[in-house]
Amino acid sequence: MKITNKIVEKHGLKIEEFENIKKLLNREPNLLELGIFSAMWNEHCSYKSSRIHLKKLPTKGKQVIQGPGENAGVIDIGDNDAIIFKIESHNHPSYIEPYQGAATGVGGILRDVFTMGARPIALLNSIHFGSPSHPKTKNLLNGVVSGIGGYGNCIGIPTIAGETKFNETYNENILVNAMAVGHAKKDKIFYSKAKGLNKSVVYVGSKTGRDGIHGASMASAEFDENSEEKKPTVQVGDPFTEKLLMEACLELMKDNSIISIQDMGAAGLTSSSVEMASKGSLGIELQLDKVPCREENMTPYEMMLSESQERMLIILEDGKEKNAKKIFDKWDLDFVVIGKTTNTNNLTLKFNNEIKGEIPIDALASKAPVYDRKWVKKKFKDNKFDSKKLNKISIENALIKILSSANHSNKSWITEQYDQMVMCDTVQKSGSDAAIIRIHNKDKAIAVSVDSSANYCKSFPLTGGKQIVCENWRNLIAVGAKPLAITNCLNFGNPENEEIMGEFVECLEGIKQTCEFLEYPVVSGNVSFYNGTNRKNINPTPVIGGVGLIKKLSKPINHNFKQENSHLVLIGKTFGHIEQSCFLRENYSIIEGMPPEINLHNEKNNGETLLKLIQENLVLSSHDVSSGGLITAISEMTFSSEIGAKILKPKKLANFINYLFGEDQARYVTEIASNNLSKAEKILKDSNIYYEIIGFTQKNNLEVEDEFKINVKDLFKINTQWYNNY
């Protein structure tokens, strides 16, 4: 078959890339080889537009066992315990087919974790949809939530935290980011690097079908008006098979059989075999007629590019095949030796004893394109936003408008679809700043949270990148955890657009600076480009997933008020920054100005001091102040009890609206009992921390001095009505 320019472009390759392929092969590729290059050279697999920038991120730390480059990151939490975690995108598939797209996103990230020897203990997600009024939003929302819940619930892993946001920027390209967290012993971690010659390459798991062919390529291109036609590229998941696969793999990992292991995710058999061989500087030979197929007459092209789910590739030590097969037979899974490692440094593909393709491994991996794309800095308007021009609104009405909005409404209608308590180690489920899960049979726990802030990143990418790391860090601090490391999912538009690429570079620089300062390394992650339709790109949406350690879990800290007559202590200074705020967005439909400034010294000092207060048992409840400002944070603290609060007017008051709704960073609201106030104040003063006593807790009502009083039950009802009315 003659490879034409049309065929090349259909495979998501540029003509100049095709010319490069011919040079690397010293010939023209056949269709199978072209498909393999297409899979390995697409944005999703090669990171060709982001690789040079990702290298700038801090990835090391005393707690880091494995940073980026493996299936997931690994951190040390002491006592020979390790936490393995990662977040990835499944944006394009979820827009095309929301249930299966979201479900297989969960399945894929779980495999990344248990492939490394960890038993998954928690799932999280960050999902973003278009405007609630958009005709597609409701169906996409319900489909994605059902898919996440359906897969996680069936496999028996608790989905314990996440975020759901709405913005018109996602009308034609939703975001579905899934995160998995697993626990392993530090001395039983498995990697994907192939070792040794003539070692058995084994296919295990489910059979290969025609679903998901060109899935990775589809995820590396913008949508257009024909996006619905791409449904066949979406994989179909089976959580029950994944459960069997997980148990079989974990059982095999108990002995010394496995040399390397890699899940078949994006680009399926192609990426798994190439990545294993590349890391080990070896060749790999596959007998494709031995691949278990669930459909008749599948071609080598289809086998290599299928993204059928619940499959693994394993390289075994000599003589271990028989015992390994017994394990997979027991779990009713396919186990077939389909190849061997070689010294050729080639990917050699045979079918019916004929060589159908042969490609140098380095041509697919180390010699894949790397682009230093042109980018421009964000241009800013000179005019500063003037809040004096706004129509007057009461504090009560402004608060009600925020709490009843799609973005700030109660999301229990979502979380109730997820099993959050399965495995019986969930200490604190979704709804607080961070979820907490106990390390099984131990008195220590980890806290986890996912966060994003697209509006901040759009208005000023550098500050937006800083802010989202800080917010994630604060969320872990607020529940009494020491932040250890992050994973990130970087969702952006078309990198060939200089402005979009500029957003990426500057956001990444903000993430880098903050992670370095806070000693909060990046250990894994994912880049998702080309999020948009017909050249209309999404707002830059980096998502940060953080893990923190609670060394000794006694009484978990959350944001719910605990008793009457406690003092409300605000840690951190309030300037009343109202630009880019939720207050303006929900009450005036205004998205203008700059995000609040980030002072990393304050973030670190304020956070570490609060952590000390929590460890000294001086804090009853705490909550970081973020979107919606101070009054929104305090309102959220009233929802799970009949305890309200009275907010006092500050003595030096410039603008009370700005004070209550401003989104200044590095702030926490804490509830401190009267008998502990002096001890807490001493620690705050000794640490040179700015703080204010801003009010006290009381029964039944949320009250703002001289402004309004509302029953907390009524406030909660307001907060829970959005989806019922949708």
- The answer to whether 448 touches 122, Cβ cutoff 8 Å, is yes
* Residue among 11, 53, 90, 623 flagged as catalytic: 90
- The CA distance from 595 to 468, in Å, is 11
- The CA distance from 500 to 591, in Å, is 19
DSSP 485-531: EEEEEEE-S-TTSHHHHHHHHHHHHHHHHHHHHHT--EEEEEEE---
Q: Which two tokens stand for residue 502?
A: 């500029």
Q: Which two tokens stand for residue 544?
A: 């940060």
Q: What is the length of the chain? A: 726
Q: Which two tokens stand for residue 568?
A: 């409300």
Which conformational region is residue 212 in: left (phi greater than 0), alpha (psi within -120 to 50 degrees), or beta? left
Catalytic residue check, 53:
no
Q: Is 225 helix (H, G, I), strand (E, B) or coil?
A: coil
* Closest C-alpha to 391, from 663, 657, 664: 657
List the Cα angle 561/562/563 in 5-degree steps. 110
Spatial neighbors of 468 by CB under 8 A, at least 6 apart, are: 451, 452, 453, 456, 457, 511, 542, 543, 544
Burial zone of 372 (CB within 10 Å; 0-12 exposed, 13-18 middle, 19+ buried): exposed
| Residue position matching structure tokens 């726990």 | 445
Q: Which two tokens stand for residue 274?
A: 């190439």
Q: What is the CA radius of gyration of the chain?
A: 26
* Closest C-alpha to 494, from 160, 236, 221, 285: 221
Phi, psi angle pair for 45, to nearest 5°: -100, -35
- The answer to whether 105 touches 226, Cβ cutoff 8 Å, is no
* Closest C-alpha to 83, from 191, 189, 176: 189
Within a 10 A sphere around the Cβ of 651, how many other Cβ atoms? 6
The side-by-side arrangement of strands in the sheet containing 708-711 is: 621-624, 668-672, 567-571, 691-699, 643-647, 701-704, 708-711
Q: Give how far Cα 35 sits from Cα of 18, 233, 271, Å.
A: 11, 14, 12
Spatial neighbors of 166 by CB under 8 A, at least 6 apart, are: 128, 129, 130, 131, 132, 137, 406, 407
Catalytic residue check, 92:
no
- The CA distance from 87 to 73, in Å, is 10
DSSP 348-376: EEEETTEEEEEEEHHHHTTTS--------
* Residue among 44, 53, 567, 577 flagged as catalytic: 44
Which residues does the annotation mark as catalytic? 44, 90
